[in-house]
Amino acid sequence: MNIVANWSYPTAIKMGRGRINELADACKSLGMKNPLLVTDRGLASMAITLGALDVMEEGGLGRAIFADVDPNPNEINLEAGVKAFKDGGHDGVVAFGGGSGLDLGKCVAFMAGQTRPVWDFEDIGDWWTRASIEGIAPIVAVPTTAGTGSEVGRASVITNSQTHVKKIIFHPKFLPGVVICDPELTMGMPKMITAGTGMDAFAHCLEAYSSPFYHPMSQGIALEGMRLVKEFLPRAYKEGADIEARTNMMAAAAMGATAFQKGLGAIHALSHPIGAVYNTHHGMTNAVVMPPVLTFNRQAIESRIEMAAAYLGISGGFDGFYNYVLELRALLSVPDNLTAMGIKPDRIDELSAMAIEDPSAGGNPVPMTLENTKELFKACF
């Protein structure tokens, strides 16, 4: 089944196989004449990236690329990216890749117009209103994984290289003007990345759905996102060239990030500091801590999870849903716990202090304190 669609929620999304060929037109629709493609080092020389640069060049837009991006992008990468943007006289960004390429690309487009340091725009209160809007460059986002959903996000996660703390940088203008979701770009993903990014999408949907804040639109999107993951992630994992599964996983990833405008929770509050300190894969870390967090939140979310289980065709209410998560993790070869990930429990105090400061913590259904977060971390080992 060939799936092709154009959506304008939450932004213009061009979904379907082969639609990378529309990249130059997408850039021109936002007024770009000389875009800079921003991606990570791993993708820089890959065929999908070279193909995207070919499309840009054939469209008369040059083939400028910046790829000095770490797996957890930091302010050093950002500074170099902004310099490349300005030195090249660029007028827009093609953010290309998984979470790191997308996040840094969006942030380069934003910071090209700012004079204040990036930390002044952390997602706290109305700090985003400090930004100068004039110089923010337009963005076309092209995801090459199906997980973070950063292509439809209004923020970027940037790691502070000094403190190793991940900071969420927010501004409404981070939202790309056009998104190209071409599932063919994800077909070469290794099994582990398919699993990790897919579980990231599931975590986004699950946490948004469980968050106590009022946002019925996000609620519905999160529920259907979980259903798509349940149906299509095992297929994408088993057979990487299953284009229907890859398309639906791209949809689920975008849905997860759209839904988590409602809030995230302890899964992300734990996995952000672990990723910052130990450089683990974000989605895989989410998957590892997911069962202990479900148990931690049970009293607050049991009836809601029972409804989700019914919609997903899982019998047994909360326990059935919990067991389904364990089965899905086993199918995808997710490590059983943090110990199996190679992490030692000697820094729980430090990680717990970082977790309760993480912006995701505020959306958890059970309020997170230093004490109960330490206990939760112990349960993850």
- pLDDT of res. 243: 97
**β pairing state of 12-16 and 4-7:** antiparallel
Q: Is 175 helix (H, G, I), strand (E, B) or coil?
A: coil
**DSSP assignment letter at 15:** E
Q: Is the dihedral of CA 206, 211, 217, 218 positive or negative?
A: negative
pLDDT for 258:
95
Is the distance from CB of 269 to CB of 361 less than 8 angstroms? yes
Amino acid at 291: P
Instruction: State the pLDDT at residue 5.
Output: 82
> Digits of tens for pLDDT over the chain (381 positions)?
888 988 778 999 999 999 999 999 999 999 999 999 999 999 999 999 999 999 999 999 999 999 999 988 999 999 999 999 999 999 999 999 999 999 999 999 999 999 999 999 999 899 999 999 999 999 999 999 999 999 999 999 999 999 888 889 999 999 999 999 999 999 999 999 999 999 999 999 999 999 999 999 999 999 999 999 999 999 999 999 999 999 999 999 999 999 998 999 999 999 999 998 898 999 999 999 999 999 999 999 999 999 999 999 999 999 999 999 999 999 999 999 999 999 999 999 999 999 999 989 999 999 999 999 999 999 999
**φ, ψ for residue 167 (rounded to 5)?**
-115, 140
- The pairing of beta strand 166-170 with beta strand 155-159: antiparallel
Are the C-beta atoms of residues 150 and 115 closer than 8 Å to each other? no
Instruction: Tell me how far apart the alpha carbons of residues 315 and 300 are, in angstroms, rounded to a whole number.
Output: 20
pLDDT in tens, 217-243: 999 999 999 999 999 999 999 999 999
Report the pLDDT value the prediction gives residue 166, as an integer from 0 to 100. 83
Q: pTM of this prediction?
A: 0.94
pLDDT in the model for residue 173? 95
Q: What is the model's pLDDT at position 272? A: 92
pLDDT of residue 72: 85
Per-residue model confidence (pLDDT) at position 6: 82
d(CA 251, CA 183): 10
18: left (phi over 0), alpha (psi -120 to 50) or beta: left
> In the beta sheet, which residues pair with residue 260?
none
- Tell me the three state secondary structure of residue 94: strand
- Residues 364/272, Cβ–Cβ less than 8 Å: no
The answer to whether 261 and 123 are in contact (CB under 8 A) is: no
- Encoded tokens for 352: 């717990």
Structure letter (DSSP) for residue 332: T
Look at residues 364, 371, 167, 370 and name the one whose alpha carbon lies nearest to residue 266: 364
pLDDT for 2 equals 86
DSSP string computed for 110-155: HHTT--S-GGGGBSSTTGGGGS-STTPPPEEEEESSSSS-GGG-SE
Sheet holding 64-66, edge to edge: 4-7, 12-16, 178-181, 139-143, 92-97, 35-38, 64-66
The Cα–Cα gap between 202 and 283 comes to 9
